[in-house]
Amino acid sequence: MKDKTIRLARNGINDLNEYTPGKPIEEVQREYGLDEIIKMASNENPFGPSPKAIEAMTKAINDVNLYPESSSLMLRQKIAGNFGIHEDMVTLANGADNILGLIAQATVNEGDEIVMGDPTFAAYDTRTRIMGGIPVKVPLKNFTYDLPAVAKKITSKTKLVFVCNPNNPTGTIVTREEVEDFMNSVPQECIVVFDEAYAEFVHPNIYPQTIKYIQDQRNVIMVRTFSKLFGLAGLRVGYAVGPKHLISMLRKVVEPFPVNRLAQSGALAAFDDHAFLNRVLTENEKGKEFLYQQFSKMKMAYCPSHTNFIFVDLGMDGQFVFEKLLEQGIIIRPGGLWNYPQFARITIGTSDQNEKLIEALNIIAG
């Protein structure tokens, strides 16, 4: 297959693999003949979508014969209001994934160097290579982005730096002070992308105020999503916040209607569904504490997490555990993907799901 396409494809994509998502529920149901499946593989919200979003989408469905508002104006205004900035400093797209792709399309020329942590979210590497850029990978230190080491890798060839904060798959963060020191050492012309897909789960006291750098007209883009805390992964809504000159670049490459009508109305309603959002945060913290305790009992080390997932050292082959859990209808993400074969990334579930996971893990661990 590769030989056939080698001259047809863009140079950048010949060495890429097709994306492998977390194993879908439907596939496991079919393969194992099971009814009930617990998915703890893609960091989705186990508490469902925001009820307010469901209500809003039910109303909006009557208008799907009409194209959506192209720039998601009301949603942009809502997000801009939240950060106290102008709506032209916000743009939306079909998930944060789509935003990351737009950033690469709008900025990366062949041969540009793009600096990122390792391991981190795979899209930075893929999007860079599609555009003919060169990924420059900086190993994590104590499972955390090593910002001083990242800064050292920035050269005159560096176009972008991706900082995944909290980092996927480890769930660790770089703090406000660490980011301040880092930003003081980054050249003005280099674009820093802070991927903050899990920002809402982090305690605000220690979390960097990325918006400050944007207001100071630094070349900074903050990326966020409605897929995690807001429970709308299936709708595909993500956004970028940045100074107008950078946001305008993203708008030049985005497709005409990137966020569909239902997604716009659902995200708008979810944004203010504080009862739902607070419940998810409380339950997530409870689930995290429960899993920490249980992992410790099983002598499994883990990275303390600022997200809705935990990177855990299973002390045995992650692929083996993944397959054994599948037999019991539980899907996790084995760590081989990130070259941590004994680890797994496990999404924090409902209390019932967490208990079932631990029961199953105890059986596997013997």
Binding site for ligand PLP (CB under 6 A): 43, 95-97, 121, 164, 168, 195, 197, 225, 227, 233, 238
Of 233 and 358, the one with the shorter C-beta distance to ligand PLP is 233
| Smallest separation, CB 224 to ligand PLP (Å) | 8
> Least Å distance between CB 197 and ligand PLP?
4
Minimum distance of ligand PLP from residue 155's CB (angstroms): 25
In the complex with ligand PLP, the residue whose CB is nearer, 219 or 227, is 227
Q: Nearer to ligand PLP by C-beta: 312 or 360? A: 312
Sign of CA dihedral 181, 124, 70, 79: negative
Cβ neighbours, 10 Å, residue 200: 18
Least distance to ligand PLP from the beta carbon of 168, Å? 4
Nearer to ligand PLP, 119 or 243 (CB): 119
Closest by CA position to 103, among listed 193, 182, 172 = 193
Residue position matching structure tokens 């909290």? 166
Question: Residue 219 or 225: which CB sits closer to ligand PLP?
Answer: 225
343 phi and psi, to 5 degrees? -100, 170
Residue 146 in contact with residue 140, Cβ under 8 Å?
yes
Shortest CB 171 distance to ligand PLP, Å: 10
Residue number closest to ligand PLP, CB atom:
95
Q: Retrieve residue 312's tokens.
A: 């855990």
In the bound state with ligand PLP, the residue whose beta carbon lies nearer, of 127 and 356, is 127
User: Between the CA of residue 213 and those of 63, 114, 244, 333, what are the distances in Å?
Assistant: 39, 20, 13, 34
Q: For residue 215, what is the enclosing H or E element?
A: helix 210-215
Judged by beta carbon, residue 210 or residue 328, the one nearer ligand PLP is: 210
Q: Which is nearer to ligand PLP, 19 or 366 (CB)?
A: 19
Minimum gap (Å) between residue 29 Cβ and ligand PLP: 22
Q: Provide the pairing of β-strand 134-139 with 113-118.
A: parallel
Residue 191: which of 166, 220, 170 has the closest Cα?
220
* Nearest Cα residue to 181 out of 153, 205, 155, 149: 149
We find the least distance from the C-beta atom of residue 232 to ligand PLP, in angstroms, to be 9
Q: In this structure, what are the phi and psi dihedrals at residue 137, rounded to the nearest 5 degrees?
A: -100, 130
Least Cβ distance, residue 11 to ligand PLP (angstroms): 26
Residue 241 contacts by C-beta under 8 Å, 6 or more apart in sequence?
A: 79, 83, 85, 89, 90, 210, 211, 214, 221, 222, 224, 247
